[in-house]
Amino acid sequence: MNVLVWNEFRHEKENEVVRDIYPEGIHAQIASFLGEEDIDVKTATLDEEEHGLTDEVLAETDVLVWWGHKAHDEVDDAIAEKVKQRVWDGMGLVVLHSAHFSKPFKKLMGTSCDLKWREANDKERMWVVDPSHPITEGIGEFIEIEKEEMYGEHFDIPTPEELIFISWFSGGEVFRSGATFRRGRGKIFYFRPGHETYPTYYNKEVQTVIKNGVNWVNNNDTPQPVYGNAHPLEDILSKA
Ligand code: ZN
């Protein structure tokens, strides 16, 4: 499986707090724990040529993991469109935290993807609500994160095909933190945790969920449908 971890990689360059947590960038930390599995992991960032998302790179990517926040608007529309097309064509997509507002995710959802938020060291308790789902393998009844940014409902997404986690926050809000979607042949997993000023991607349970999510969205070897005008497979004309 070829996995590409994409990060806008701006907070880490501009903010000392974030740089202390992720000195090589959020993408490097995510790539490092994914690389412990039998996975070929590469990374790409916004400031690379074509954001590191050339046609060749996208064609060979089975699963794309996306983290972005402050520079969604700098992602070229044509490249966001290509990412969407690759998902339709079978590439898996794992959308993390503030990438709820990324261009590819918004294109794929067709809604505003807006939500409520607060940076106030809330405690997050993320409950498993679908214990039959492979994305929850290795997780207990819930995951507790001592300090995180709060995301609250309403989250303006289409009704998820599967709802996997619901978060409770110490300020009282709740949020659909793990949700799956299918678009074309592609599978999508949205996973909430991962605000840049907290060490969330060092949390082993969060890592397990991301690994499980990457495995679950990997769908690239499924049959390629044939569209358009079709010749009959049986001799229907002589029976007319
Ligand atoms: Zn955030």
Cα–ligand 1 centroid distance for 28 (angstroms)? 18
Cα–ligand 1 centroid distance for 239 (angstroms)? 64
The pTM assigned to this predicted structure is 0.96
Instruction: Say whether pLDDT at 200 is over 90.
Output: yes
Domain 2-110+177-217, what fold? Rossmann fold (3.40.50)
3-state class (DSSP) for residue 20:
helix
Cα–ligand 1 centroid distance for 129 (angstroms)? 23
> Rounded to an integer, what distance in angstroms lies between the CA atom of residue 194 and that of residue 201?
6
Cα–ligand 1 centroid distance for 198 (angstroms)? 9
Instruction: Say whether pLDDT at 199 is over 70.
Output: yes
pLDDT at 211 (0 to 100): 98
In tens, the pLDDT along 120-132 reads 999 999 999 999 9
**Contact predicate 181/108, CB 8 Å:** yes
Cα–ligand 1 centroid distance for 152 (angstroms)? 12
Cα–ligand 1 centroid distance for 227 (angstroms)? 41
Cα–ligand 1 centroid distance for 221 (angstroms)? 34
In tens, the pLDDT along 45-86 reads 999 999 999 999 999 999 999 999 999 999 999 999 999 999
Q: Which of 195, 150, 147, 156 is nearest to 168 (CA)?
A: 150
Confidence of residue 240 (pLDDT cuts 50, 70, 90): low
> Rounded to an integer, what distance in angstroms lies between the CA atom of residue 112 and that of residue 126?
24
pLDDT at 111 (0 to 100): 98
> Rounded to an integer, what distance in angstroms lies between the CA atom of residue 55 and that of residue 51?
11
**Contact predicate 58/82, CB 8 Å:** yes
In tens, the pLDDT along 178-196 reads 999 999 999 999 999 999 9
Q: Residues with Cβ < 8 Å from 125, sequence gap 6 or more?
A: 142, 143, 144, 145, 167, 168, 169
Ranges 76-85, 182-191, 217-226, 231-240: which has the least confidence: 231-240
Instruction: Say whether pLDDT at 238 is over 80.
Output: no
Neighbours of ion ligand 1 (CB under 5 A): 98, 149, 195
Cα–ligand 1 centroid distance for 232 (angstroms)? 53
Residue owning tokens 């954001």: 51
> Rounded to an integer, what distance in angstroms lies between the CA atom of residue 18 and that of residue 11?
6
DSSP structure string for 111-159: S----EEEEEEEEEEEEES-TTSGGGTT--SEEEEEEEEEEESPP--PP
In tens, the pLDDT along 156-180 reads 999 999 999 999 999 999 999 999 9
The more confidently predicted of residues 222 and 208 is 208
Beta bridge partners of 41: 3
Cα–ligand 1 centroid distance for 97 (angstroms)? 6
Cα–ligand 1 centroid distance for 180 (angstroms)? 20
Q: What are phi and psi of 168, to 5 degrees?
A: -110, 140
pLDDT at 237 (0 to 100): 78
Cα–ligand 1 centroid distance for 197 (angstroms)? 8
Instruction: For strands 116-128 and 92-96, give the pairing.
Output: unpaired
In tens, the pLDDT along 15-41 reads 999 999 999 999 999 999 999 878 999
pLDDT at 38 (0 to 100): 81
Task: Report CA 19 to chain centroid distance, whole Å.
Answer: 22
Cα–ligand 1 centroid distance for 225 (angstroms)? 38
Cα–ligand 1 centroid distance for 10 (angstroms)? 13
**Contact predicate 76/37, CB 8 Å:** no
Cα–ligand 1 centroid distance for 35 (angstroms)? 24
Cα–ligand 1 centroid distance for 25 (angstroms)? 15
pLDDT at 221 (0 to 100): 83
